[in-house]
Amino acid sequence: MTAENAQSLKKPDALPDRYEILGLLGAGGMGRVWHARDRVLDREVAVKVLSTYCALDEKYAKRFLNEARAAARLNHPNIVQIYEFGNEDGFAYLVMEYVDGPSLKGDLASNGPYSEGRAAELIGEACNALGAAHRQGIMHRDVKPDNMMLTKSGAFKLVDLGLAKHEEGSAEQTASGAIMGTPHYISPEQIMGAKSIDRRSDIYSLGASLFYLVTGSVPYEGSSGAHIMSRHLNDPLPDPRSLAPDLSPAFCNAVSKAMAKDPEHRYQDTLDLKADLDAVRGTAPVERRSNRSDVAEPTIPLVRTPSGAAFCPTFKPPCSHDDLQRMEDALAAAIGPLARVLVGKESRTANTRSALVEALAAHVPDRTERRKFLKSCGVTNTGSGSLLDSGSRSLTTPATLAPDIVAVLSRHLADRIGPVAGVLVKREASAGGGVDAVIERLAAHVPDEAEREVFLAGLAELRE
């Protein structure tokens, strides 16, 4: 940032006078991060300021302070240190250690993918940092190369515990079932809205980060966040050697085991992952936290099973896999790539084929498309009182928001993330809190910052 731009920046309201703003480091859905100087201690700091509308929302303010408290409890050289935080009169801020170098994502963008050994070294440092957090019962839940940084001297720092949650935290910290994390690095259990997220979810994200660091590509690309998440649930893990042929089998097996779709088949602790990464680098391995002989060693590529069945090895659908695939194809024709996620989810709770068809039909909002889907599933009775109407009834609008508002929210969100929007709007509207709170929760599901701003701007009239 130029000196002229720095001088034109206005200091955030109510920030203590001891902090001199030097420039803007970044902005997101919950606020901005500023580069500043602590006049009292004469040191550079980073100041995270929660946006006014988030600070006034009790849930978001609580999450922000949880980040501060969680991070402040952690004292580790690989974790950014928290210096101060406050929340007064709708103004919340967090002062933390300033990292004077790039994120791993930024470094890779400038210099290209890392070598196998360097990637193993960096993720090994991330394992150290996360291990310290996990031992305090704190899960990061948004591990990605963007949140891993390097100082100018080369020291590794893990940043942004904005989604952190204590393992034994109350339901107030994060709404149960909420999808939190970044689509390119999110674990299957986060996508499925599991109520219990543990350290193995962070390990999955470490595996996805390893893949990215050596290939320069994320494991799964997609046309939308929903498409990417459906691929995390169902698609086999691509062999990173297809993009980086010189990778060793040991390194690829570490990526594969870290990214196993079933948490029971992953590394059970960051120490286990670090031990294998140390072996890849040829350094002395650390003692493992667990040495379980019953944990399967996945090979690359992972084998795809239909409609999300890979997430649970004991999964027994109410119909054949071929039938599930036909349902998925028919549903995809109506609502897009979210179909695979929904078939996998609903087939786990439906006891019979007819119950599964009814549950899936409820996700098709258009009556004509619902009729086509039912016909593809062999349901010919689509008159009054049939599954055609039962699906419509199951899609009734939550009482917390008027139907026209829900329709507007769904349309704007669908423009940003695709067909999963309808499901998310229904869920967030049911959680209550008023229009502003619902909009902010929905904005958190838009991974791209620019798209998120467009989404919020399009709904400005609803927020007035």
CA distance 61 to 399: 25
- Closest by CA position to 36, among listed 103, 95, 102: 95
Residues 193, 179: contact at Cβ < 8 Å?
yes
Residues 55, 91: contact at Cβ < 8 Å?
yes
- Closest by CA position to 180, among listed 169, 194, 167: 194
User: How big, in percent rounded to 5, are the helix, strand and coil portions of the chain?
Assistant: 50, 10, 40
**CB under 8 A, 24+ apart: contacts of 21-25:** 21/47
- Closest by CA position to 113, among listed 220, 13, 23, 209: 209
**CB under 8 A, 24+ apart: contacts of 73-78:** 73/136, 73/138, 74/132, 74/133, 74/136, 74/138, 76/128, 76/129, 76/132, 76/133, 77/155, 78/125, 78/126, 78/128, 78/129, 78/132, 78/155, 78/156, 78/157, 78/158
Catalytic residue among 38, 142, 160, 269: 142
Tokens 């649930």 sit on residue: 233
Q: Is 89 known to be catalytic?
A: no
CA distance 78 to 67: 17
Q: Which residues are catalytic?
A: 142
